[in-house]
Amino acid sequence: MSNAKFYQTHHSPIGAWASLTFGAPDCGMGIEVQNPGADAIGSMLIGAADQKEMKTIGFIKKNGEAEKKTAAEGDAEQKKNFLLEKMLEMYQILPEAAVTRTLTPSMDRYQAGRLSFTVYTPYRALTDPLLAEIPKIECVPGLLMDVEYDNTDGEEDVTVYFGVMLDDMKRLYAEEGAEPALTCRNDWMFASDPADGSFAVRGMDAVRYLRAGTGHVHENGPGFLCKRIPAGEKGCLPLVWCVYQNAGSTGACDTVYYYNRYFASMREIPPFLFAHADEIRKEAISLDRELTEERVRENRMTESQAELFGQSLRAYYASTQLLLDGEKRVHWNVCEGAYLWRNTMDLCADHLAWELYQNPWVVRQIMDEYIDCYTYEDQVYFADKDEISDGGISFTHDMGCFFHYSAHGKSGYERENDSRNGFYFYMTTEELLNGIYCIAAYAIVSGDTKWLGERLELLLQLMTSLENRDAQDPADRNGILNGVSTKSGGCHLESTTYDALDHSLLEASGNLYVFIKTIGSLLLLQKCFERTGCGEGAERASSMLKRCMDSLPVFYDETHKRMRANAYADIEGYVIAAVEALVVPGLCGVASDLPDRFMEYVREHAQNCLQEGVCINKETGGLQLSSSSMNTWPSKTILTIFALEHLLKLAVPDSVKRELEGWCQVSARRCTISDQIQCDTRQVVGATYYPRIITSAVWIW
C-alpha cells in the first residue's frame, strides 16, 4: 500500500453528498457539493518554505499545449490560465517521483522527505436510528487533515502551508485573524485551528510571505493556511475541510441533512472537529487495522485489494446522503453517481456486501421505504401465448432522480416504450429479484426475525409474483421467468441491470442471469419462510426451485458446453456475468444449499467462459462480462471473480485482477471511478463518479 499510484480520489464525509477530490498530481483539485462530477476547479498546494527554498506537493490543474498557444495569441481567458501556470512555477512543485502515497480505507497520506500530508476518512459504523440518535461525531460534514514537518535537523524556522489556487480566484474568501479560513460562500471551507498558532496568507505575491512566515491577506490570488515550525522541532498544522447545506431532497419527500440538527452553520463544524482530532486519528488507525491490515497480514486480502477497497469506500460515500424528513424519520440515499438515480435498486443489491457488514439498518431503512412507497402491482404479457395475465408486486428501478424523490409507485428512470430502440425500459423482473435479495439478505445476516415476521404477507406476495411471471397456469411453469410487464408498453421488453452492456444481457425474459438470480431468490425466500414458520411459502419456493432444476437442460448448449445467454433467443455470446448472481446467497451462507447438479452446470459454463478469446480479452487479458461486448464493468467484475473463486472454486487468471486494478486506477485516474470500461482499449465509457465499486467489500467477508 505504500506504493499506491496517483489517481483522483474522493475524500468525503459520511452522508453529506460531497467530495474533496484529488490524488493525481496533474489533475488538480475538485470540490463537489451535491454535484456528481469530478472536474477540477483549481490546484491544491501543500508544502514547506524558508528563505532558502520551497518544497511543494502539488495537485496541479494543467493546461495543454493548445491552450498555451491560444494564450500566446492573446485570448484573454487562456492568457489568464497561462499566467496561473507561470505563478505555480514559483512554488517549486516536487516531481511525482519524490512523493510516496499510502492509501488505506481511513487515510490518504503523501510523504516527501520531511514533509507529509494526511487526510483522515474513518468510515465508522452509524448508530441504528431506531435504537438511538445518530451521534454528532458520526455525521459531521467535514474531514480532518494534517500537514506535518520534521524540522529537528533544521537550522531555520520553516512555514508549512496548505493552499488552493482556484481557476476563478475571486471565488475564494480568505479570513485572517482569530479564525484563519478559506471559504467559498456558505458551501465549503478550509480552516485551521486558531488555538494552534496558524495564520492566513493570500495574494499574487503569497510566496514572499510564506518564506517570511508572516500573515498577509489580499483578496485576490491563491490562499494559504500556515503555521511556523521552529528549528529543532517537529510540527503539525491541523486542518479541516467541511461543507454545509440545508435541503437534501424535494419532490415526494422533503428532507434536510441530518447534520443540520447539530450544526446551525458551517462555522460550527471546524471547532467540533478540532476538539475531536485525536479521537479521529485514533479511530482511523483502528479501523484500518480492522478492515484491511489484519486481513493482509493473514493473507486473506492482498495489498492491492486493500488499496482498491480504500478507493471504493470513498467512491461510495461521495454519493451518500443521511437525511431527516419533517416527521424526524431518517432516510439514507445513495445517488447513482453521475447518472443521479436515487437508491437504484440494482445498486442496492450490489451494495449489500458493505452495508450488511457495516450498517445493516441502512438496508432495512431503504427496503422499508421501497415497500411503503415504491412498489406497484402489474399485469404481464406472454409472447408465446399472446395473452395478458395477472402479474403481481414489484419494485421501481429507483426512488427518483438528483434532488427529487419521484411520485410514489413510480421511478425516475422507467418509462413505457413502443420501440425496442428506446431508452429507460422497465426492469420489473430484475427489481423484483433484487428486492428479494435485499429483504432476505438483511433478515438472514442481521438475524432480525421480528422485522421479517412483520413482512410475511409481503413475502407471500413476492412468491406469487415470481410464479405469475413464470406462467399463469401452474401446470405450465418451468421456473424460467418469461412474463413481461404490460407497463413496458408496446415493445414488450423489460431490461436488466446490464442494459448498457449488449444484447446478450439486455432482455430479462428467458435471460440466463435472471434465471440464476431467480434460483438464488427462491432459495433465500425458502429460508425466510422457514424462519417465519410459514410452511406453505417454503413449499411453494421449494417446488419452483425443483422446476428450475428441471429446466437446466433448456439453457444447456451441448456443442459448446456452456449455458446459453437466453433460453428463448438464439444468442451466440458466452455470459460469465451470470455467475455473479450467486454472490448474495454466498454472503448469506446458503449457497451450500444450492443443488450440486445446478452448481456443476454453472461451473462448467464458467470454465468454458474463462478462455482467452471468449471472456478473457485477447488484447489485454481483462475480463469481458459477455464475450460479445467490450463494455465491461469493474464492480460486476469483482462480484464475478468472487463467485468464481469462492463459490465455484475456479482459478481466475492473474491478468484479470491486474486489469481490474488498472481500470480503476489508470483508466479512470482523471474521473475517480468509472464503472464502464472498454475492455480492449482500457478506455472509460461511462458511469463516472460511481458508488457501485463498493462491491469490493466482498473481500472483507
Look at residue 73 and tell me whether its pLDDT is greater than 90. Answer: no
Residue 423: the pLDDT is 80
Cα dihedral value 94, 98, 102, 108, nearest 10: -10
Q: pLDDT category, 82, cuts 50, 70, 90?
A: low
Task: Specify which residues 237 forms β-bridges with.
Answer: 147
Model pLDDT for residues 230-261, shown as the tens digit of each residue: 999 999 999 999 999 999 999 999 999 999 99
Look at residue 74 and tell me whether its pLDDT is greater than 60. Answer: no
Model pLDDT for residues 551-571, shown as the tens digit of each residue: 999 999 999 899 999 999 888
CA dist 146 → 47, 59, 97, 225 (Å): 12, 16, 22, 12
Look at residue 64 and tell me whether its pLDDT is greater than 70. Answer: no
Q: pLDDT category, 620, cuts 50, 70, 90?
A: very high
Residue 550: the pLDDT is 97
Model pLDDT for residues 272-309, shown as the tens digit of each residue: 999 999 999 999 999 999 999 999 999 999 999 999 99
Model pLDDT for residues 113-146, shown as the tens digit of each residue: 999 999 999 999 999 999 999 999 999 999 999 9
Instruction: Give the percent of the chain with pLDDT over 90.
Output: 87
- Between CA 34 and CA 52 the distance in angstroms is 43
Model pLDDT for residues 334-363, shown as the tens digit of each residue: 999 999 999 999 999 999 999 999 999 999
Look at residue 65 and tell me whether its pLDDT is greater than 50. Answer: no
Question: What is Dmax (Cα atoms) for the chain?
Answer: 90
Look at residue 79 and tell me whether its pLDDT is greater than 80. Answer: no
If you average pLDDT over residues 472-487, what whole number do you get?
95
**Contact in structure between 21 and 241 (CB atoms under 8 Å):** no
Nearest residue to 494 via CA among 513, 474, 505, 508: 508
Cell reading at 432: 423484483
- Between CA 319 and CA 18 the distance in angstroms is 7
158 or 72, higher pLDDT:
158
Residue 38: the pLDDT is 76
Look at residue 618 and tell me whether its pLDDT is greater than 80. Answer: yes
**Contact in structure between 442 and 458 (CB atoms under 8 Å):** no
- Between CA 253 and CA 333 the distance in angstroms is 12
Neighbours of 596 (CB within 10 A): 7
Strands of 294-435, DSSP E: 320-325, 330-334, 375-382, 387-395, 400-401, 404-405
**Residue 178 host element (H or E):** none
Look at residue 596 and tell me whether its pLDDT is greater than 50. Answer: yes
Instruction: Give the percent of the chain with pLDDT over 70.
Output: 96
Return the DSSP state at 168: S
- Between CA 677 and CA 65 the distance in angstroms is 27
Residue 569: the pLDDT is 87
Q: pLDDT category, 67, cuts 50, 70, 90?
A: very low
Residue 117: the pLDDT is 98
Neighbours of 396 (CB within 10 A): 27
Strands of 335-469, DSSP E: 375-382, 387-395, 400-401, 404-405
If you average pLDDT over residues 6-28, what whole number do you get?
97
Out of 74-83, 173-182, 268-277, give the one with best mean pLDDT. 268-277
Return the DSSP state at 450: H
Cα dihedral value 111, 112, 114, 115, nearest 10: -70
**Contact in structure between 220 and 63 (CB atoms under 8 Å):** no
Domains with residue ranges and CATH for the chain: 18-261 (no CATH), 335-700 (1.50.10)
Q: pLDDT category, 3, cuts 50, 70, 90?
A: low
**Contact in structure between 18 and 335 (CB atoms under 8 Å):** no
Look at residue 183 and tell me whether its pLDDT is greater than 90. Answer: yes
Look at residue 66 and tell me whether its pLDDT is greater than 50. Answer: no
Residue environment code for 138-157, b if the CB has 16+ CB neighbours within 10 A, otherwise e: bbbbbbbbbbbbbbeebeeb
Strands of 154-263, DSSP E: 158-166, 173-175, 181-184, 188-192, 199-202, 216-217, 223-229, 233-243, 247-251, 255-257
Model pLDDT for residues 500-532, shown as the tens digit of each residue: 777 778 899 999 999 999 999 999 999 999 999
- Between CA 43 and CA 302 the distance in angstroms is 33
- Between CA 46 and CA 91 the distance in angstroms is 10
If you average pLDDT over residues 36-57, what whole number do you get?
92
- Between CA 500 and CA 492 the distance in angstroms is 18
**Contact in structure between 397 and 431 (CB atoms under 8 Å):** yes
**Contact in structure between 677 and 633 (CB atoms under 8 Å):** yes
Residue 230: the pLDDT is 96
Output the CA angle 402-404-409, nearest 5 degrees.
Answer: 115
The alpha carbon of 72 is separated from its chain's Cα centroid by a whole number of angstroms, namely: 42
Residue 4: the pLDDT is 74
